Amino acid sequence: MSNHAGRVAIVTGSSRGIGFRIAQRLVMEGWQVCLTGRGKDSLEQAVESLGAAGRAMGVAGKADDSQHQESTARSVLDAYGSIDLLVNNAGINPVYGPLMTVDLVASRKTFEVNILSGLRWTQLAHEYWMAEHGGCIINVASITGLTAANNIGVYGVSKAALIAMTRQLGHELGPRVRVNAVAPGVIKTDFSKALYEENEENVISSYPLGRLGVPDDVAGAVLFLASEDASWITGQTIVLDGGLTLGGLL
């Protein structure tokens, strides 16, 4: 814990699921953490449940809203004095079906949240703190950004863009700032229930390691990438999929 005491993180989309577990693990390791999420009440409950008085705060708002992004960054600096880590976890998947039939308005919104908002959060963290002091960016992508998948193509393309952005920012922001990503398979959260809840045993059968992922699988990798043990890693994407993509097409 002493290695991380006083260090400050922003985790977007963290009132539940993967984002909440990342925030929780960071707090357990001594970080001061700002959680974000759309719902004020659920966010307040998430912050309270961390039981870390003075080391956790929440700022409610939409991940792709520019005023929310700016006010969050300023609030974190005012409260904690730095932004050492940004985890771009917020993401949506409102579009289902083949690319030839998807709604373009919903598709644009997917890209606004899944890729462009992450870029803006990164710009702010860099401008306000990391350009001068250094830091770490971790993007939560998906294995759908690495290969084709049925009916979630828009989501996959947005995550492929996030993986490409991770490489580009790793190239541009070194040596002061490291930028990496994680690419999970199906993680057992409310966000991904539609992918497994009616057919879990059959879904699991495709995974060489014999189970679906849980939020802790992602949080552990994020903590590693944020640590000094990963100090010579940048621009990379760690695949967290229980071996699923070893077989190719999803």
> Is the bond preceding 215 in cis, omega lying within 30 degrees of 0?
no
Supply the residues annotated as catalytic.
155
For residue 99, give the nearest of 144, 154, 145 by alpha carbon.
Answer: 154
CA 88 to chain centre: 4
